[in-house]
Chains A and B, each alone.
Chain A
């Protein structure tokens, strides 16, 4: 798999001991335990892996911290190629490593668009040369993300694209999507749709409802999402393609997905961490860092999303990491770009749902690691022997404050500015190699180099 190709394993024998092992692949939540790695792969996992039992290995004492399979973030925008001032594959990978994310799936909305095998190849080579975590691209469903002609799906897959998406856009034409889905099915490519009817949403900048009325901002009704989703599910019935709604944002969508799954359709969906922990009220006084697509919706919608995550209707949590610079965000709300960075804060924000008792820990990790790996046919998302040695060590109680200038992303547009989270990544391992260690708040609050 190309996913593994560009990460050379650390050939040292290392043992990570005295941890609380959380492995959704087996349902394990066990302490104390350890993981022994060699040549970039997990050799042994469990209570028997202790400082005394391993021979000739470098031992890392996890001091009771959580040890989770590395997160795989299915929705990361970068600016490489084309807008490197916003984010490069390297800067995104450093942010990912600091957030316990061992693999990022980059979106095709670059310049040029990832709609040709040569661009896929470029991404994989740049990642091999510059990134510290695994990188794999999704390729465009349609050429140039224009929604008109399907891209070279077979050749893109051969080059290493792991799924298809038109990124920030949904494919509007049902005829185009129908043919692309029928074709994608032959290659077992997951079709990931941004579920928003852009015609109905046109001009909207936030959730349509009482608050948008009060703020005097044009709204995006939930129907813009639900209409697109329900239409797409008819096309899944027609074509049999594997379909993934990238981000659902409202209670109705959760219900639609629940029914589709009950009917046996090959359908999955994701939600962004922002929609699980924030709602429209966070926009407050026109704060553009909360301008997201799909928009943050009501508290009732947020709760329905959390319920959907708990009962398995929602499969995946993404960061929807979308770096924007001052030129696109320091603008009147209506003129500002959509999007927020998030790959570095996703895990900490998710842990807040565990601390409040809303979502079990194993379920959170599953949605950020095991399930993305399974949907994309990638190795990872597991602590089982033989799996790649990709994992995060997390101190579940450490308090830390999000300081935008201490984030590793080139962009600062975080909706969690100054927020205090309990729980943070202290150590990230990819292919057996440590790619991030937390040096304490002193380092974090220092001006970035």
Chain B
């Protein structure tokens, strides 16, 4: 199996722990699904300002987010796995952001990129949403104003870890339902 693959510059994902013998490999389905999810996260960029520019650099050839399995930007929320909110969200945009989140299918993750998406940033004012976690649940916060592409990649890798280790029943658990209910999401 893996021993037959020629050594190249291409790194393959390690197989999850399991039992291996002649002609078979046994592991838990949870680990296999986690592996598949973590290495093919389709991002949905919700970029409103300078953090969005940093995210574009992250997608470009220098930083190349495609190396982490996020090759394809999904501009339809229905096919997206991870929502990347990069930039200031005005209060008037809050319901739009929530609508986009609602349109995503489970399992879905959210990254708040930058100070504004995380907490409102320098815009402590009546017209700006003080962090997107006021309207949708957030999995990973990336600090910075704006954060460098390395930090955004680190945030994506954190979501990969979450996806890899998430129990299959988590999205049906009463804790998760309670979290959604606290945001008014059924």
- Do A and B belong to a common assembly? no
